[in-house]
Structure 1
Amino acid sequence: MVTPKSDDSQALELQRDSLHSYIDSPEKQQQLYKRTLAVVVTAQIFGGAGLAAGVTVGALIAQDMLGTDVLAGLPTAVFTLGSAGAALFVGRGSQRFGRRFGLGTGFLVGGIGAIGVVLAAIFNNIFLFFASLLIYGSGAATNLQTRYAGTDLASSTQRARAVSIAMVATTFGAVAGPNLVGVMGRFAGSIGVPPLAGPFILSAAAYLLAGLVLALFLRPDPLKVANLIAAKRHKTESLTLETPVSLIKNNREVVVGATIMVLTQIVMVAVMTMTPVYMGHHGHGLSAVGLVIGIHIAAMFLPSLITGVLVDKFGRMKMAMASGATLLAAGLLAAFAPGSSLFGIIIALALLGLGWNFGLISGTALIVDATHPKTRAKTQGTVDVLIALAGASGGVLSGMVVAQSSYATLSLAGGFLALLLIPVVIWSRGKHL
């Protein structure tokens, strides 16, 4: 009985030695930075497919089960509410045990939730459907938080680009997911599963694979190494504790970054959620819906490499203002383009995704700038809880607004809400951020 304990102790010592070997070696740090990005990119490809496939048909399954449009936005609200709780768990788990544990577990739980959705569709059980969507939200939260893993070892002038690399990887899976809706629907039908549940079969497989990639290959853990490097720097440079002034400045940056991401999330989720239902009312088929959502999600992630460079070069605040202007344009076009015009809907949803991209990368860079490795993952998780709750609110309200008024009203309201980003930026500049 003594030998296993001795082996465990030796393994822990080896792990500590391995981590400490990165502290004084910039070359090894750079190698780990590149390796981390490669693992994150691979996981994000699968994660994007898992997220996009489910988002595409969630509202349609609810519409089919409930027989009404009024609550069509509820599935998005439920899984984003689930993602809020998961974001807190993933953030705190990552802070305590490392990114590998937090992110790997989050994706695996999301995969289990997707399996539950498929079972709910088979048995036509609305309660199981919503309970499973709540768990499925863990995948969405993890997909979002994975973007932070690449920033742990990035310099201050690389952070936005590190976020963008992680996000652009999501594009490959995110575009493929919605465009496989028809294929997965036919596959589901061939095995006796309702066609609308087909995309969730893809989501389950994609999330489980993403979790396994992170759990197996995100070694050494980048956040643990970043903590050791920060601790060493503190000792060798005799850094003092942050002054109250610097702490206030950092807290303001966190508030501004969070506000930017929350506003863009509300607008994006609200309009995106009701677009498939709106298209159905104007005679567009499931393949057309998949095309529109695929292009929308591509616009959310594909421009990231360029956006990251722009955020690092021109500043976080200028790109936040660009986000507000782009989302306003998306709302105006969605409101006034004819419902029968597939081209008009595609452009509106592409602008919606692009505006969200500008806001998320600029806001994320602000959060990373303002946090220390010792508290970074925990703070990031808390901010992502707010983002998820914003998405849940947007999902619930979107169906109600459309039921009581119209899709055009929803789109206009979203566009003008995005303009609040401008006073946020003005306020932040007034505080000398």
Structure 2
Amino acid sequence: MVTVVDVRAVQRRTIRVLIGAQMVFAVVMAMASPVAALLAQQITGSAGLAGLAQVATVAGGMLASVPLAEFTARRGRRLGVAAGYLVGAVGAAAVVLGGVVASYPLLFAGALLTGTAVAAGLQARFAATDLVEPERRGRAIGTVVWASTIGGVVGPSLAGPSDSASALLGLPQFTGPFLVIGAGLVLTAAATFVWLRPDPLLLARSLRGETHDPRGQGVMRTARALAGNPAARRSLVAIAVVHAVMVSVMNMASLHLHHGGSTLRVVGFAISVHLAGMFLLAPVFGWLSDRIGGRRVLALGLLLLLASAAVLQSTSGHDTGLVMGGLLLLGLGWSAGFVAGSSLLTASVDEELRPRAQGFSDLLMQAAAAAGGLLAGSVVEFWGYPWLARISAVPVALVAIWYLLAARRGTARA
């Protein structure tokens, strides 16, 4: 008996599950890095060790990207994404235990494991593309990215109530948020495992007549394939540059405003404006990618980033309105570039290589952001925030020139 699958119905269900899981994930993970830093400082009394704990979740996401993509390629999106969330929940429990026994190594290891959930959250956007028609790929990615909006709004405000809950349970200060993080990640893992059926990646393979992962050689085969694919190389670099510039300029903006005398409330509002730019219009940029092409929307994103740099390089910390305007442009530029770049990457590689290629992209993107963040601090310390804005424009302009030259040669793929 042949079972007829309504692919569009499965895709709609997939999108609904991903949106719900991404909302919960974004809310709880918004607390992870800042609270890990506070807990680490309480245990050690060292600002340096606290800073390491703060970046541990990012480092964990970076380290988990390729292994999680490899697991996904072999076992499917449902198990891959759910496993990433579940490992993250184990990490959150380890952080709580580290706080209870006042062990910094255990806290740091837990924060690294919690970062696995970051890798799963990033790869969730690609799960939306496995069954979608090519002309709707951008919208699918943009919709899942948009679901993270609530995390930027609600997530940080949960830290205080969550910490109060830890006191009621007799736990040390700053462990409560990680209890909530662990519970939220268990919930997202369970929802993904139970409801992401049929698995979109495995179903897409079966519809192509494949019954297993056709590229069993894994990581090295993927690396060689990406190295020999000009369109994929451009997409990988574009996503990495867009993300690294956004993270570097955004992270130092709070310091820039603080030096100018802005209150914490003003700084928080400025970051909220930036987050609104990042997420609210993601579905619009996805729709535009489908209508006018990913390269044009990527170009729009690069232009918005350059406009942001032009605004921010002329500001002092006292220019609150201009800084907020620049951060809004920065968020919009990231949104357009991230959604369009992800769509271009997916289109540039064969279906069987996509999960691994997407994992490589997340690895490169997070590594670039980490490096950019470290360099940004030194630039601001020695030359000031306006110079960071000016320097950030350089890689953006180089990517734009690269795409322009490729388009003129007629080798770029839409």
TM-score, normalised to structure 1, is 0.80
Q: Report the residue type matching 1:36 in the other structure.
A: T
Shift of 1:33: 0.7
Match of 1:14 in 2: none
Change in Cα spacing, 1:410 to 1:89, as seen in structure 2 (3 Å) is: same
Q: Which residue of 2 aligns with 1:329?
A: 307
> 1:28-427 maps to which residues of 2 (within 5 A)?
28-55=6-33, 74-75=52-53, 77-120=55-98, 125-184=103-162, 199-231=177-209, 251-281=229-259, 288-340=266-318, 342-427=320-405
The one-character-per-residue Cα deviations of 1:107-153 (angstroms, maximum 9, x if unpaired) are 12223333444455566654444333322221211111100111111
The aligned length equals: 396
CA–CA separation in structure 2 for the residues paired with 1:61 and 1:399: 23
Q: Given that residues 82 and 193 in structure 2 are in contact (C-alpha distance below 8 angstroms), is that contact kept between their aligned partners in structure 1?
A: yes
Letter of the 1:364 partner, please give it: S
Aligned-pair Cα RMSD in Å? 3.1
Indicate the SS of the match to 2:135.
Answer: coil
Deviations along 1:181-235, one digit per CA (max 9) or x if unpaired, are: 4544555566666766665444333323222211111111010010111227xxx
- Given the superposition, is the C-alpha separation of residues 73 and 160 from structure 1 closer, same or farther in structure 2, using an over 3 Å criterion? farther
CA distance in 2, matches of 1:149, 1:182: 33
Give CA-to-partner distance per residue, 1:300-358, whole Å, 9 cap, x none: 22211110111111211122222222222333434443424554443333322221111
Task: Note if contact 1:45-1:174 (Cα within 8 Å) is conserved in structure 2.
Answer: no
Gap change, CA 1:248 and 1:209, over 3 Å in 2: closer
Identity %: 31
Q: CA deviation at 1:386?
A: 1.1
Q: Deviations over 1:62-111 (max 9, x none)?
A: 7786655x888655643322212211122111111110110001112223
Match of 1:339, SS? coil
Distance 1:183 1:257, change over 3 A: same
Contact 2:33–2:56 (8 Å) recurs in 1 = no
Report the counterpart of residue 238 of structure 1 in structure 2.
Answer: none
User: Are the counterparts in 1 of residues 260 and 316 from structure 2 also a CA contact under 8 Å?
Assistant: no
Q: Which moved more, 1:39-48 or 1:346-355?
A: 346-355
**Contact 1:71 1:400 (8 Å CA) reproduced:** no
Q: Does the Cα contact within 8 Å between 2:315 and 2:386 map onto a contact in 1?
A: no
Whether the 8 Å CA contact 2:57–2:112 is kept in 1: the answer is: yes
Distance 1:355 1:97 in 2: 34
CA distance change for structure 1 residues 279 and 202 in 2, over 3 Å: closer, same or farther? farther
* Of 273-282 and 315-324, the range deviating more from structure 2: 273-282
Question: Which deviates the most, 319-328 or 277-286?
Answer: 277-286
Q: What SS class does the counterpart of residue 31 from structure 2 fall into?
A: helix
After superposition, the Cα gap between the structure-2 partners of 1:249 and 1:397, relative to the gap in structure 1 and judged at 3 Å, is closer
Q: Decide whether aligned partners of structure 1 residues 60 and 33 sit closer, same or farther in structure 2, where only a CA change above 3 A counts.
A: same
Q: Distance in 1 between matches of 2:399 and 2:110?
A: 34
Unaligned runs of 5+ in 1: 1-16, 233-246
Q: Does 1:21 align with 2:13?
A: no
Show structure 2 runs of 5+ residues with no match. Answer: 211-224
Higher RCO, 1 vs 2 (CA within 8 Å, ≥6 residues apart):
1
Q: What's the secondary structure of 1:220's corresponding residue?
A: coil
Q: CA deviation at 1:29?
A: 0.8
Aligned to 1:432: 411
Q: 1:345 to 1:181 in 2, by over 3 A?
A: farther
Label 1:354 to 1:189 Cα distance change in 2 as closer, same or farther (>3 A): farther
